[in-house]
Amino acid sequence: MNCDDSRIYLPAYLDDELDVAESLRVQKHMTECADCRLDQEEQLALRSALRDPELYAHPSADFSRRIEIAVRRAARAEARSQHSGWFEFFRFDSFRWAPAAAALVCVIAVGTLLLLNSLRSSHQQLIASAVLASHIRSLQPNHLIDVPSSDRHTVKPWFQGRLDFSPPVPDLSELGWNLVGGRLDYVDGKPVAVLVYQRRMHNINVFLWPNHGSADDAIREEDAQGYQILHWNGAETTYWVVSDLNNAELLEFARALRGH
Ligand SMILES: [Zn+2]
């Protein structure tokens, strides 16, 4: 199976609609192809995002009432031009059309909210996919580090002139997290700083860029293909941390980094 076949089969595979032989062929391709694994991960993430109960909005009683009044007013103007009898107008207005029109407006409102939410979360998902792909790429020979050094006073100045911001480069060696270097990378079309730390044989990629939005330093977790992805928005800097280190230790690392 090649990537084109895999892309065609993937939705049916995720829906459990393939027979055993076909499923095994897709699975085999997934183990061999990082690109298609990413596709699969993205589709799974989108599916679970769409199941989020927060996507459902319930209109307030006041909102429904205002819609009903507006619809009634419009129907009254319409009825005035078409009907003369008050009895008929009353029947036409309240009992038949207003609830249906109000329901339609609610459906549109809910649909818009749902779309906005899924756009926002799919942008996060896009960044998660990009940093994960970059992490996997960095594990290939000679891709991990542009400036190999455990000294923050070497790594930090290296970014000068290469980026239009100066990334924080904390020394966490006393806590058992060894800086091994940094590199320049691209995420979401922007050049970003990457710091590489290690514990035992595990590489930790820290992607950094300026945070122009609001700060929210709660650490969020994304689990992807055996890798851990953590991210938060500091007051000045957005952080994405990717590693194959276990979740508990990586959280410990993220808290140490956030505290610096
Ligand atoms: Zn493939």
Which residue pairs from 30-35 have beta carbons closer than 8 angstroms and sit at least 24 positions apart in sequence? 30/6, 33/3, 33/6, 34/133, 34/136, 35/3
Nearest-5° angle of CA 75, CA 79, CA 80? 120
Residue 195 phi/psi, 5-degree rounding, is -105, 140
Question: pLDDT per residue over 218-253, tens digit each?
Answer: 999 886 778 899 999 998 999 999 999 999 999 999
- Please tell me the least confidently modeled range out of 44-48, 120-124, 176-180, 191-195: 120-124
Percent of the chain with pLDDT over 90: 40
User: What are 69's two structure tokens?
Assistant: 């009044």
For residue 29, report the distance from its CA to the centre of ligand 1, in Å: 6
Cβ atoms of residues 136 and 34 within 8 Å? yes
Q: Which residues crowd ion ligand 1, with CB under 5 Å?
A: 3, 6, 33, 36
> Residue 173: its pLDDT value, please?
92
CA distance 18 to 27: 11
pTM for the predicted model, two decimal places: 0.56
Find, among 203, 191, 189, the residue nearest to 145 by Cα: 203
Q: Where are the alpha helices (DSSP H) in the chain?
A: 3-14, 20-32, 34-50, 61-82, 86-90, 98-138, 152-158, 247-258
Cα of 32 vs centre of ligand 1, distance in Å, is 7
- The alpha carbon of 169 and the centre of ligand 1 are apart by a number of angstroms equal to 36
Per-residue pLDDT band at 141 (split at 50, 70, 90): confident
* Ligand 1 centre distance from Cα of residue 98 (Å): 53
Q: Across the chain, what does the average pLDDT equal?
A: 85
Q: From ligand 1's centre to the CA of 223, what distance in Å?
A: 21
